[in-house]
Structure formats: C-alpha cells, structure tokens
Amino acid sequence: MHRIRRAGIDISRERLLWELGGIREVIDMYPRKPGQRVARRKAVLSQRHEFPDCLLSILALPRPEEHILA
C-alpha cells in the first residue's frame, strides 16, 4: 500500500485487492513449425486495462507477456 500511496493513487485496500484479483495469466499455445520439437507457448494477461497495468508497474510485478515459454 505504501508504494501505491507514494505514487499518488488514493485507493482502498479492498479496491486494490479487487483490481489485482481480476488479473489472470493465460498461456497461448501456437502450433509447432516444421523442425520444432515443442509447440511455442506465450504467457499473457487475460485482461488489459490501464489501471491494473499502472498497479503492476508501481508494484514492480513481472508482466507475463515479457516471458516466452519454450
């Protein structure tokens, strides 16, 4: 909560938890290309809105789309 307040956002703890609780990680799977041993997977967020993105930045939480799996 301290980081959120220092960033100038006035939000209740309940609202913060509600906003963060709405973020889901989804794994997108793509078909294998010729010569690939495994299918390519990419982790992404299910909902992308400006406010949750702002919270992720303030809290320095990793964004799944930054990580391509296999």
Q: Which two tokens stand for residue 31?
A: 């078909």
Q: How far apart are CA 38 and CA 10, in angstroms?
A: 46
Name which of 21, 38, 40 is nearest 30 in CA terms: 40
pLDDT at 14 over 90: yes
pLDDT tens-digit map of 23-69: 788 888 888 889 888 888 888 777 667 777 788 788 887 665 555 55
Share of the chain above pLDDT 70, in %: 83
- The average pLDDT across 6-20 equals 88
